[in-house]
Every structure is written in structure tokens, then in C-alpha cells.
Copies of this chain bind each other. A is one copy, B any other.
Amino acid sequence: MITIGVADTTFARVDMGGIAIDELKKIGTGFRIERYTVPGVKDLPVACKKLFVEKNCDLVIALGMPGAQEIDKMCAHEASTGLIHVQIMLNKHIIEVFVHEDEAKDDQELKFLAERRAREHALNAYRLLFKPEELTRLAGTGQRQGFNDAGQIR
């Protein structure tokens, strides 16, 4: 059976992994879920690699909430670089769902943003595995996850 991995962190201030799992279950069936929680975003690349090779995942959703400081931006960059590296080693997608603390004006907006981005990217993950033609139909339409879509330029 298709297996979707969910890798998340104890650093995040919202249970993004739990939300992604909730959304996946609402979207469809035909897959099972493996969850793996690590301390921070820099632990996510190997967590994803382990989900692929030890838990036979077909795709992983990697969720994290980098802080607002310069050093946090660098951590997020290092994590993202690692996530891309894992993907091209294995030819499997990792959907990165990062919400930066300074994207939101306060805690409530941060929570809203984290939840909505996690849910919308859970749908992207589902589409990549089960309905890639839906993504092709949306090509070049300015989709965004979390805040409003930018839309296609007419």
C-alpha cells in the first residue's frame, strides 16, 4: 500500500504534523501514514531519509516552523538543502511545509497560517501521488499555500 510519511518537529509551536495527518485522512484513502517527530528542522532531512528507506514511504511531508532570527533563516536553508538532496538521491518527493515565525504578525495569525499551509500542502502531496493531472491543470495559475493565491496573470 502507498505510504505517506509525516516528519515534524518539537520546535514548532503548532502541531503541524497532526494537522497534515488530519487533512490527509479527510482527502482520501488508499494510503497509510508513518509519522516521525524530531527536535528541529535540521533533523528533518535524515528523518525523511529514514522514513523512505526504513518505513518504505513513497512521499514525505516535512513540516517545520523556523524562528525569525538570521540564524534561524540559515537553519531553514540548511534543512531545505538537505531535503532536496534526499529527494534527488531517492527520486521521491518531500513536500516541505515551513512556516517562518516572521511571516505572521502575531501568534494567532501564525497558527492560522501553519494550519492552512499544512492542509493545502497535504492536498499537494495527495495529488502528486494519486492525481498528478490536477497539478498540470493548475500549472502557471499562481497557487499559494497559506495566504491567498496570487492567481494567473491575464
Chain A: residues with CB nearer than 8 A to chain B? 8-18, 35-39, 42-43, 45-46, 49-50, 53-54, 71, 73-89, 91-96, 100, 107-108, 110-111, 121, 124, 128, 132, 135-136, 138-145, 150-153
Q: Is the CB of B82 within 8 A of A75?
A: no
Contacts of A39 in B (CB 8 A): 95, 121, 124, 135, 143, 145
Q: Is the CB of B46 within 8 A of A9?
A: no
Q: Is the CB of B79 within 8 A of A42?
A: no
Q: Which residue of B lies closest to A81 (CB)?
A: B78
Q: Is the CB of A84 within 8 A of B45?
A: yes
CB A28 to nearest CB in B, in angstroms, measures 17
Q: Is the CB of A142 within 8 A of B13?
A: yes
Q: Which residue of B lies closest to A103 (CB)?
A: B71
